[in-house]
Amino acid sequence: MFPYIGGKAHHVGWLDPLFPNTFDTFVEVFGGAGWVSVKSDKVKRATTRIYNDFNPLLANVYECFRTNPAAVLAKMNATPKSDLALYRQYQRELFGVLDWSTVTLGDVDLAVKYLYLQTQVFAGTPLSLTNVPYFTETKAGGKYPSKYDTLKKKLAHDKITVRLTDITCVEQLDCIDLIKKYDSEDTFFYVDPPYYKMEFYYSKDFPREKHLELADTLANIKGKFALSYYDFDDLKLFYPESKFNWHRQNVYRSAATRSSNTANYKTKSKGTEILIMNYSNPIIVPKTRMRVQEKVNPIFIFN
């Protein structure tokens, strides 16, 4: 729904056909900006939809989106964009003063402060007490619209707010507890953990042991899962190809995770995403579709 490091905004098109054709309960285990919950057609058909993120600021945003998107929009409309003093004030409040353990989900003021920051940094880079704003509409000769305005437009759109209010429940649990809580034969988990050796982007530590614990947990569930990763040496150990179904997809990396050297833009930005599933592919992805997916418009760098 908004720019976020590791966000799957541009991936749902190839992910969705690889999801199981039917499931009763959908669980987005590492919700982040919630792109799969909001964009996937198959998720739309589920009876129960769960969004989860361990980060209380994100879980709070989604609880507000779910329960009262109109209130979020009204508050955003009343908050002027691209105001450096306001940016700094919210940054200090959320990353200096606020005790995150006291956050009660459904706090619209807090959600808007978070969104104010997250939509006005470069390409959804991680927020901190020190990161600098990137007011898009003042860069590149005003070529790109403000992401803050883009989010407001989305929240004014019925098709999108229905997807948000259709979320059954927002959780703020550790991934392992969440998977155990919702596991059943009719559950489908979409699992998009902090990528290996890139965990520092997020608020919670996700060391090697946690990746292993996740693999152990997923190997023993009753439900289905699809797990996103970039490849790394241990991945085949965690999820042997003899036991799980691997799909490889060529993609462009998001701007925040690659070099900003524009001369090397194309070569530097390509990568392969892996989707690991514990079920058979519901379809074979046609080659033409993969090529279309690879031709990502350069505007992608600001999403």
Ligand X SMILES: C[S@@+](CC[C@H](N)C(=O)[O-])C[C@H]1O[C@@H](n2cnc3c(N)ncnc32)[C@H](O)[C@@H]1O
- Tell me which residues touch ligand X (CB under 6 A): 4, 6-8, 30, 32-33, 35, 53-55, 58, 174-175, 192, 194, 202-204, 206
Q: Closest approach of Cβ 127 to ligand X, in Å? A: 11
Q: Closest approach of Cβ 120 to ligand X, in Å? A: 17
CB 50 within 8 A of CB 22: no
CB 51 within 8 A of CB 31: yes
| Between 100 and 283, CB nearer to ligand X | 100
In angstroms, the Cα distances linking 78 to 16, 70, 73, 81, 158 are 36, 12, 9, 9, 20
Q: Closest approach of Cβ 190 to ligand X, in Å? A: 8
Closest CB to ligand X: residue number: 32
> How many Å apart are CA 78 and CA 88, to the nearest integer?
18
| Between 76 and 256, CB nearer to ligand X | 256
| Between 33 and 76, CB nearer to ligand X | 33
| Between 30 and 90, CB nearer to ligand X | 30
- CA angle in degrees (0–180, nearest 5) for 94-52-56: 15
**Number of neighbouring beta carbons within 10 Å of residue 262:** 10
Q: Closest approach of Cβ 288 to ligand X, in Å? A: 25
Strands 25-28 and 224-230: unpaired
| Between 207 and 240, CB nearer to ligand X | 207
φ/ψ of residue 17, rounded to 5: -60, -20
Q: Closest approach of Cβ 49 to ligand X, in Å? A: 14
